Amino acid sequence: MLHRLSIRDIVLIDKLNVDFKNGLCVLTGETGAGKSILLDSLGLALGARADSALVRHGCEKGSVSAEFDLSTDHPFWQILDEQDIERDDSLVLRRVVNADGRSRAYINDQPVSVALLKQAGAALVEIHGQFDTQGLLNPVTHRGLLDAFGNLGDQAKQTRTAFRSWKQVERERMEAEAALEKARADEEYLRHMVEELTQLAPQEGEEEELAAQRQRLMHGEKLIDGMNQAHGELTSHKGVEVNLRNALRHLERIAEKAEGRLDSVIETLDKASEYTSLGIQELERASNEVDLDPRHLEAVEERLFALRAAARKHDVQVTELPNLKDRFEAQLNAVEAGDTALQELRQKETALRTAFIEIAEDLGQKRRATAQKLDKAVNDELTPLKLGGATFATTIQKLDAADWNETGCDKIAFEISTNPGAPLGPIAKVASGGELSRFMLALKVVLAQADPIPTLVFDEVDAGIGGATAAAVGERLGQLAQDVQVLVVTHSPQVGARGNHHLRVSKAENNGQVVSTIRPLSDEERTEEIARMISGEQITIEARAAADTLLNAV
């Protein structure tokens, strides 16, 4: 419920804090006192259009904060959860308007878009006036309200789940059909590619090995020439190995006389001779292994170029060719198995569609039964509200299959006729200003427990009526206030007397400026206010007596 409204520098209000309680709160005051400013301020906090004219003259900006107390399980909190806005003990919607008309919006002091503020406001407060009404006038809300009135929430949820399951498989079937159609169109190409890659038979790491072979074959003559020169240096004349052996023999003959000084020299030269011999053997073997056959080079290049040409053709790296062949084969297998998989999807889709239709049609039948109860309940409320010639009806029309959706197979709308024999039509288009507010009141009384909006505001719902009709309006507002918080701006003493709480809006001059104020009334002050509403500016004894009668009758 709305707990507090704080207004700063809005039109005729300089600084004002208004506390609200649960039940029926009536706001009264003379014409022009500022009741509309209060509603405009509340609308601003709820995301209504900002206007520079709202900022009090001479001020740079104005602001409005609306603080709410909500139960922890109220559906509104889901809006904050979806926006990652932290919950707090209370909820505060705030709007700041600059003198140039620009505005900023906040929820729990976190900056938000005006669109989000408006969404939040619509979930918290519903304002009904003669010319500005929302909520029930929007046909989008009618289906949910009808389901809530008939306790059909679980079946509506089942219908939504069944529709989504059906549509998910339908999308899968359509995607499978498109993929299979494309695969069939590419089947001949795929078979050709698989055959081509099978013949090519690319191997893992083959490109790198072929490139290395090609490099060796291209430089074979240079390798042979260099190795031959090295061999000549090692073996020309007597050769390094022979010279080392001769040197060893000379040293070995005198080794005993050297008293061990030559042992390490002899050992080192002996190893050098051995390594030299091994080196010459390895050099000869490497020389013999050099391939100088140009046909071998041609074969290697032909293979390497074939692999690279295939990679370019398919726009992949050579290393990916083995896997590419596997992918092509998998696509071919999918073509062959596609008919079976597609048939299974079609059967599943048909079954899910049938299940949705059964659930939706059962829900539709229960909605029609619920609609009859709702229509009777609302029509019973119309006569006491001086709308006896009017008719309320819930219209339920079958949708074409193409228009079925997760809410079912029906189009649901609340419609009225204001005169006997006149055709039904949308409430907002058929009802006049005064009738509209009373229609909303009748609907709200019946749908109070089905609608999650915790605070309702009625602006002069009693306009143009009096006597028994005004008393009936007051009675129904009081009845409605047993389920939700109700704020009503009224000029009717019968409605004013019904309030659980009474606020009076007044206007006075303060330091040369006109300022609007709002304050709660005591029991004695309330009697005077009801008397003023009965008799006008001059309050008579009879008016006070009538006021007492009205207040005591509640």
Distance CA 220, CA 294 (A): 10
Say if residue 131's pLDDT is above 50: no
Pairing of strands 24-28, 485-489: parallel
Please measure the distance between the N-terminal and C-terminal CA atoms of the chain and give it in whole angstroms.
23
96 three-state secondary structure: strand
pLDDT in tens, 451-499: 778 898 888 777 777 788 888 888 888 888 888 999 999 888 999 999 9
Within 10 angstroms of residue 345's Cβ, the number of other Cβ atoms is 18
20 three-state secondary structure: coil
pLDDT-based confidence at residue 20 (cuts at 50, 70, 90): very high
Question: Residue 383's pLDDT is what?
Answer: 86
Encoded tokens for 500:
């659980």
Encoded tokens for 192:
């050709």
Rounded to 5 degrees, what are φ and ψ at 99? -65, -20
Contact partners, residue 225, CB within 8 Å, separation at least 6: none
Say if residue 130's pLDDT is above 60: no
Distance CA 10, CA 42 (A): 11
Q: Output the DSSP codes for 233-282.
A: HHHSTT-HHHHHHHHHHHHHHHTGGGTTTTHHHHHHHHHHHHHHHHHHHH
Distance CA 492, CA 464 (A): 10
Half-sphere exposure of 315 (CA within 13 A, CB side): 0
Distance CA 22, CA 19 (A): 10
Question: Residue 133's pLDDT is what?
Answer: 46
Does this model's pTM top 0.85? My answer is: no
